[in-house]
Structure 1
Amino acid sequence: MEVTFLKPFYTNIVGNNLRIVFAYQYLSINKGGKVFHFIPMEDKEIIIDIRTRQVTNLKDVFVFQEEHNFIRLPLYQFLLISNVNDLLSEIIDSAERKQTNNHKVAEALKPLVKIIRKVDIERQYRHMLALEQDYELASLSQALKDNDNTEIIRSKNRLKEIHHDLESMAEYS
């Protein structure tokens, strides 16, 4: 038995498992000169532990059809009597390269993510200072109307602190 066509419908790495999902006619085998196409009647995926490169769902059953003839193959048997291992090896290698590349990209982006987070925190802090400045200006205005010297001094001091914080943030921008 020879696999004549194997094209995953979908692949995904979850933890240490590579899920290879097949759809109707995405997998074909040749048996006795007849081509049988995969049909997702029972199971439709092969799960491989990437660390060990072993199929973990060996009891799952794949069904193939050629006109009115059907073949039901448990995965363990399919792996033993066909060349599917060679083709799966290529898919595993490709998935490992993709995972490695994704990891490299994520590592390369970490400094950028830190900068973006810092900029966002600074933006939020500026906004909070602007709101506090508005509040202190309203408090100062009311204190001046009420002739409340204690509140006037407190508001002026806090406004100086806010102004100093905004100036020092502008220096580093």
Structure 2
Amino acid sequence: MVTVKMLKPYYIKTDNEYVRIVLAYQYFSVVIKEKDYQFIPIEANEIRMNRRTQKVENVDARFAFQNGKEVIYLTMAKLITLPDFLQQLHSIVGSYYIREEEESMGEHGIESAIIIEQLERMNVRRLIDKALDEHDEAAFHELIKYL
């Protein structure tokens, strides 16, 4: 049995068609037969989602996971069969999907929506930095939810 222990993007890249979730060490781990395996970027290192259809595009990608000297490979096709993987994935990229009202705005509207989303995320990061500087733990925990 495979379960996703943690799935966090190293960073997210967007364009008009796709959301790319780039993965790195310590940001993605799975549990297989009660053993923790950490993602290692020796093959695939990104998940590519279609912004319109909300589906994973690179289903043929192979991800490597390591526990000690043991390396296990899981394909994206296998990972998307795991409900906890899909749930975490959609919670990460949900705000990047193109909604119907954005679709009707055309190319210029989509680009504007992307810029607005990026500015909103940058603003949240600045507010998090401010909360850290002021040692405001409550504000920090509240703002982390928006990333």
TM over 0.5: yes
Task: Give the AA of the match of 1:34.
Answer: K
Kindly provide the CA deviation profile for residues 19-49 of structure 1, in whole angstroms up to 9, marking residues without a partner as x.
0000112100011111000000001000000
Contact 2:52/2:97 (8 A) holds in 1: no
Where in structure 2 are the equivalents of 1:38-49 lying within 5 Å? 38-49=39-50
Q: Residue 6 of structure 2 aligns with which residue?
A: 5
Q: Residue 103 in 1 paired to residue 86 in 2?
A: no
Task: Give the AA of the match of 1:21.
Answer: V
Where in structure 2 are the equivalents of 1:82-97 lying within 5 Å? 83-96=84-97
Contact 1:3/1:82 (8 A) holds in 2: no
Deviates more, 1:46-55 or 1:87-96: 87-96
Kindly provide the CA deviation profile for residues 8-29 of structure 1, in whole angstroms up to 9, marking residues without a partner as x.
0010111120000001121000
Q: Residue 31 of structure 1 aligns with which residue?
A: 32
Q: TM-score by structure 2 length?
A: 0.64
Gaps of 5+ in 1: 107-173
Count of aligned positions: 104
Q: TM-score by structure 1 length?
A: 0.55
3-state SS in 1 of match to 2:81: helix
Aligned-pair CA distance for 1:104: 8.9
Report the Cα distance in structure 1 between the residues aligned to 2:114 and 2:50, rounded to whole angstroms. Answer: 21
- Percent identity between matched residues is 31
Report the Cα distance in structure 1 between the residues aligned to 2:17 and 2:97, rounded to whole angstroms. Answer: 10
Instruction: Return structure 1 stretches of 4+ with deviation > 4 angstroms.
Output: none
Q: Residue 76 in 1 paired to residue 43 in 2?
A: no
- Output the aligned Cα RMSD: 2.3
Q: Residue 65 of structure 1 aligns with which residue?
A: 66
Report the Cα distance in structure 2 between the residues aligned to 1:62 and 1:93, rounded to whole angstroms. Answer: 22
Q: Residue 54 of structure 1 aligns with which residue?
A: 55
Which structure's relative contact order is higher, taking Cα pairs within 8 Å and 6+ residues apart? 2
